[in-house]
Structure 1
Amino acid sequence: MDTLSRVVQMARLRGTVDIRCMVAGRHTLDNPEGGNGRSPFHLLLAGECTLELPDRRIALRAGDFVLLPRGTAHRVHTRGPDPDEPIERRDLGPYALLRGIRAEDTPVRGAAVDLFCGHYTWGPGAGQVLMGMLPDVLHVPLGTDAGGPLPLLGAFMRDEARTVGPGTEAVLDSLCDVLLTMALRSVSGVGRAAWLASTRGVVRTVTDAVVRDPAHDWGIEKFAALNSMSRATFIRHFGRETGMNAGEFLTRLRMLLAAELLTETEQPVAAVAAAVGYGSESAFGRAFRLAAGDTPARLRRAARQAVRGEGVSVLRLGPADGGEPSPG
């Protein structure tokens, strides 16, 4: 299984469409802070709008997907040639529809902006670790080319949203999951999320080896040997393909695997630490807290309480600032 498929499977994220906006005028949509375990997203299928964050503005065009892993409060400004107009809000069951109204109370046809707004939920575990590894804002242009995947997915989402029948919520939720996977695999360039999309031989070889035996004493020399490369050649290729050094990559994989063990098994924390290559429980705890924003014991406890429906909050994540030192 490739890196991205494995990570998405472990994370167990659940996507939901909250609102569909079909407006032709100029409007501002306020989005409060997402809250613990909730990461909002926007998919713009038509038109243009601006995402306003506390520290920046991002211009969005048709085909753009934006995910806010840490649930940052933000605004969406729609813009178009038409003046401001009243908006009708309708509750369609699975989601709410915001739609512009003409002066004569006729719904706008051919809306300039068609925007799906939703969120992904994740509980204590690998999903929490994955969101902590992503940048504060994940902005991915998926494109609108006829041969690309987004037009097909967008048409499916529009059709399902328009018909609203039995199973609509389940279908839209599943399409949101597909959307996130498409976005993660479309990440390009050097960045904190680029490693998820890499399908190059060097990254796949390292990933497969670590997933098979995370407790092994991995180092650059061993990774280089797996790829029949010199140390220098491996470092150059790996950095170019993932945007990070091998030590950081190794830590990320180990922490994802550790989160899965903590939430899906009854192994003691010390055993989980050993299973992912840490001889010291304290060293494992430090690395895990950097990746997950919580201690292994608290994350396990929160996961168990969440299963029991006790609504325990998960610590708000910050960016992953580091991990174990680079091997070798």
Structure 2
Amino acid sequence: MDVLTQLIQIAQPQAELDLRCQMSGTYEIPHTVSSKGTAPFHLVLAGECLIETEQGILKAQAGDFVIFPRGAAHSIRSVTTSNLFHSAYRDDSGILPMNRIGNGVVEADLLCGHFKYEHEASKLLFQSLPDQLHISLLNDESNIPLQAIVDWTRQEANQGFPGALAIVTALCQSLLTIALRRFGENAHSPMNTLAVVVDPRLSVSVQALLKYPEKNWTIDTLGQISAMSRASYARHFKETTGLTVFEFITQVRMSVACHLLSKTDSQVSAVALEVGYQSEAAFGKAFKKHTGILPGQYRRTKSSFH
């Protein structure tokens, strides 16, 4: 199993669709800061609009997918403006509530939703992402499969056949994976923990670490898996991810532990062993240092196991 798939299985971010927006004329739709563990997203199905944040203004066009991993405040605005703001109405007859602004030709058609994720279990996925993650799915011929995903999403949203909402939600879940892969491929991003996804020398050792977090991992053993010397492995790891090897090992173990505590009924002592701690006391100390609370407290606040 590849590294990105392993990280996603640990974090389990879940897509939820909120509404569809079709806009014409002049408009501005503000979005306040989202709660912790909520990452709003917008998929531009057709047309274009402006997305404004504290960092500036992005012109989003058909096929653009924009995610706010830490729930940053932003506004959706028309490309052209005048003093006349058009009236808005809501239509609940489709698979999603529809916010329609203005009349005539639709100038921007957006699918809006959010990803829910557990903060601690998702650190390795989300910590190095920018406040606004933007990928274009239609920018070259190599993206023909991605164009098909966008077209399929638009068709399902338009036609509203049985199961359409489930299909559109699953497609948005796939788009998140694509966005994370794209970011991991961006070698120019500093402190990019997702760079291990595509780094040929690191990914094989990280796969082993994710599969067997309970093992007594050292820089030497991980370096051997990657066919690198201890010094070369440690240096390359820090340069690539911004983390030391041991910082990364700890984050992997704590992410897996958070997943097990919230999704299973395993005893805390068993979870400790599964992530490489021989005593519950040592695990509890490390867990509290990493998350701020003890494993039992975390389970009581986060557990979905029934």
Matches within 5 A, 1:297-316: 297-304=296-303, 306=304
- 2:8 partner letter: V
Deviation, 1:220, is: 2.0
Q: Which residue of 2 aligns with 1:114?
A: 109
Q: Which residue of 1 aligns with 2:205?
A: 206
Q: Which residue of 2 aligns with 1:67?
A: 67
- Structure 2 CA distance for partners of 1:36 and 1:227, relative to 1, 3 Å: closer
- Structure 2 CA distance for partners of 1:307 and 1:283, relative to 1, 3 Å: closer
- Does the CA contact (< 8 Å) of 2:128 and 2:194 recur in 1? no
TM-score (norm 2): 0.82
What secondary structure, in the 3-state scheme, does the structure 2 residue paired with 1:281 have?
helix
CA distance in 1, matches of 2:287, 2:299: 13
Q: Which residue of 2 aligns with 1:313?
A: none
Q: Which residue of 2 aligns with 1:257?
A: 256
CA distance in 2, matches of 1:283, 1:66: 38
Q: Which residue of 1 aligns with 2:127?
A: 133
- Does the CA contact (< 8 Å) of 2:125 and 2:194 recur in 1? no
Root-mean-square deviation (CA, aligned residues, Å) is: 2.9
CA distance in 1, matches of 2:272, 2:42: 37
- 1:91 partner letter: D
- 1:113 partner letter: A
**Residue by residue, what CA displacement relative to the aligned partner does 1:166-224 show, whole Å, maximum 9, x if unpaired?**
11111111111111111111102334555167233322222222123312332222222
- Structure 2 CA distance for partners of 1:239 and 1:114, relative to 1, 3 Å: farther
- Does the CA contact (< 8 Å) of 2:20 and 2:97 recur in 1? yes
Aligned identity (percent) is: 31
CA distance in 2, matches of 1:78, 1:156: 25
- Structure 2 CA distance for partners of 1:196 and 1:262, relative to 1, 3 Å: farther
Q: Which residue of 1 aligns with 2:165?
A: 169
- Does the CA contact (< 8 Å) of 2:205 and 2:223 recur in 1? no
- 1:122 partner letter: Y
Q: Which residue of 1 aligns with 2:136?
A: 142
Q: Which residue of 1 aligns with 2:88?
A: 87
- 1:80 partner letter: T
TM-score (norm 1): 0.77
Q: Which residue of 2 aligns with 1:286?
A: 288
Q: Which residue of 2 aligns with 1:19?
A: 19
Structure 2 unpaired stretches of 5+ = none
- Does the CA contact (< 8 Å) of 2:196 and 2:240 recur in 1? no
- 1:30 partner letter: P
What secondary structure, in the 3-state scheme, does the structure 1 residue paired with 2:42 have?
strand
70-79 or 162-171: bigger deviation: 70-79
Q: Which residue of 2 aligns with 1:325?
A: none
Runs of 4+ residues deviating >6 angstroms: none
Deviation, 1:136, is: 5.8
81-90 or 253-262: bigger deviation: 81-90
- Does the CA contact (< 8 Å) of 1:214 and 1:277 recur in 2? yes
